A and B are shown apart, each in its own frame.
Chain A
Amino acid sequence: MTESNAKRQLPGITPGARLMDRAGRWVITAGGIGVILSVLGIFLFVLIESYPLFLKPSVSQARIFDFSQRQPVLCTGVDPYRAVMFVVHETGVDFFDVNTQSVIESVSPPELQGRRIRSAYRALDNTHLGLGLDDGSMLGCRVAFDVTYDADGKQIVTPSFAVESAMKLTDDALVHLVFRHDGEARGTALGIAASGQLVLGVSETRRGLLGGGRTTVRTRDLTPDIKGRATAGAVTKSGRYVLVGTDRGDVFRWEMKRAGSDPKLLDHFRVSDQAVTALDFLLGDVSVIVGDAGGRVSTWMPVRIHEGDNKRTFKKIHTLESHPTAVIAFSSSARDKQFLSGDALGGVALHHMTSEQTFVYLRGNGVPVQALAFAPKANGFLTVEKSGQVANFDLHNPHPEVTLQTLFGKVWYEGYTEPQHVWQSTGGSDDFEPKLSIVPLMFGTFKGTLYAMLFALPLAILAAIYTSEFASPRVRNLVKPVVELMASLPSVILGFLAGLWLAPVLETRVVGALLLLPFVPMVIVLGAWAWGQVSEEFARRVPDHWILALLAGIALFALYLSFALGPVAESLLFGGNFQSWLLGTTDTRYDQRNCLVVGFAMGFAVVPIIYTICEDALSSVPQHLRAGSLALGATPWQTAIRVVLPTASPGIFSATMIGFGRAVGETMIVLMATGNTPILDWTIFNGMRTMSANIAVEIPEAPHEGTLYRVLFLTGVLLAGITFLVNTLAEVVRQRLREKYSRI
């Protein structure tokens, strides 16, 4: 209409009015498009916020430092700000400024007494350093980085180094050393001598009341315990478990409960048909990474044999991409379950255990890797080649633990007996691994929706049929606004009443509530029969709304009957206590806030929506169809069910979809009327956690742009996507139906 009309304007329009008109057109068009775009932009934003979860990590080589004059470099490490690194070589430790590429301090500890360092081990805490010497002794050292700021606010990292303990493990040079310190008293050293001898040393410092302390050292030769030759070892931080790999592909495991107790050989298990060439614990000291001479990398952990049983056996859990040649070095991240593996040809790979990803493989130049070091904040790493070349890499991998597999598939987490779908985003300790499976949340969403729909659909559709087909116009004009009003009830009110009133009330009256299901229809049908016995004369004179009131009375009577008979049925069928019966026979615990409650409350919220749309669809069915059917001798009921209902069925479908969409996204009711436990269990007597409630609970605590934050946005994308699809489907169906009505 607009274009053609504008052209036909009469000449009387003033220039000012024309200008205003143009301006108005411009403002309204720009504003309108802007509003629509910005509202639609919400989707885009939510999508963009979750997208980085699936970005590939970026690894770039920042710099190579040549320490060939200090060769061999045995071990390296860097401070949390990646400003100062240290390298351990034969005669001491050099601290090196990464930015200016100059040596800050070169430490040659007097405790060396001229001996040479043959092996070194940097513990995961980046503080404790073990040095294995050529006379079979080891030195336990502490490296610390002090951070200060100068007048300009520039950061200054000052390293310090101290030898804290010494142990004489054997008489032969230590070619391989593992040293862990529990941070308090106990230091555990595992050394492999050039002769192949395997020795364990434990030092314990008992602090006296007046400072100072007494250090006791015990050593024990473990060589007789094993078959084959020890090639690699790993020790937990507490020193309780000691693992040693051999050239025959076995791993032996010892336990040492206290520092003073004797190491007890627990078990040994075959991990490979080739020699074990590298062994290390991942963060948390539960999973062990094993590398063999064939280049294979796998992680193992103790798994309970039976649920509830304390016996554990070591199992291979995750297999990662293989190297082309023997794996000889590992370094675990102190942040998450990432680790680096290095091989005999200088190749380095970055893996994440739980998600079984190998992000990159950096091809080497044929020189074997000597040592690897993950930066403490997992934002970079160092590689050391046998030739003395130290390379510094930048790493940006903010969400290593998330893949489609970990989000939607079963994952075998530490401490679980089998792969499972688990949602547990936060835990008590620093080495807690977030478990972010969306499956339990989706499951909970659909479970709640299912029960709500089971309750709401029959009620709403039947009520709509009555209103449109059988009720008098007067009743209809009264009832419809009331039900519509019910649709506007804030869900927080429904949630509150469901959680604090209905849930406790139902808890003692479950059986009565279940009896409602058969009783209400039965009593109503009986009522209809009884009404049939009343004289027709009288029945015809009773106005419509009195019938409705009568029906309400009958329903109330059924309600009373159910709850009155509930205890009787409970003692007859369930031995007097339904909840213990439930626990005993089906092993289901009755939660006070369960799906029965949610189904009712959410059904309450959905009924008016379904009802309104259904009723509209039914009453819009052209009148002549009804008239024709009735004229052919069909009863009103036959007309309603065989003629009107099928014609309006797309409308009912669309009502169902819109109700479904509302139930899927409902937040407050679920939040308040369930226990919000993310479980996978269809039973009606316990709760669930839905995606929407999960967002409400967790997003305030989720660090901005962290993994949890983005995963929550991903669930938001899913929620918005589902509801949008469902609603669009409903809308399209509705429009088709509208066209159909205009045709008939």
Chain B
Amino acid sequence: MSTKKKIRSTWLLWPALFMLVAFFLIPTLDILRASVYDPEFTTKHFTKLFSSNVYLDVLWRTIRLSCIVALICAVIAYPISYFIVQRPRKQQIFFLFLVFIPLWMSVLIRSYAWMVVLGREGLINAILIGLGFTDAPVKMLFTTGAVYVAMVQILLPIQIVTCYSAMTEIDLDLMRAARILGAKPWQAIRRVFLPLSLDGTVTGAIIVFMLSMGFFITPALVGGRKDIMMANLIEFQVNQLNWGFAAAISIVLLIGTVLCVIIIKRLSKILTGRLVGGGNA
């Protein structure tokens, strides 16, 4: 009877497993194959990739930009999540609703919207000129800064929701306990709330980081010529029908992402250890 039960419960996983294998594992392996068979076994795509500074620069830029976007998102989302989690239940739902609204629109539309806001004749320049702060429009669109602003805005809700749901797991009585035991408000946050919420924050940051690594519409629309990311390279190579090289870039992007995630996890573990064992504060 127990085996029957077991079979029935694993059965629930089958659709997901099927999807994973059919639409993720097999295509990924196929890309891996495409990167080293063209049509015979070859390492020429990887040799090309690693022999030119251009591609490595783009890889490095992609990683750096994704890290910074994840960090900015984490820093902005943390106080917002903390604020929401402290509201009464009904208000929490309302604030989360506000956070979710931007997700109703596609990334493409939101990127175009930033073009409208940041452009030469855009909203911000119109205001700046109207108020007399500047005579000529400030160049904001097609800069690296624009990429950061747009990507942070697009990814922030994801970070807030992850961070918030981790924070709801924390018993707020712990903060009261810390206070009555002698902790000032900031000490209670630093020694109790922060260590307990760090895991959720890091999880959110990792999700944002991984999504950033694959971003290409936003940098293409609001970034300058040098704000090319790995995904833009892949798209370009696919358009040129260089399937093998595109596959090689994809594999490098995948491995780079995985490595970075491992490093971020390690760092956060060390940081949590520091916060907990912090000695006298």
Is B a genuine binding partner of A? no
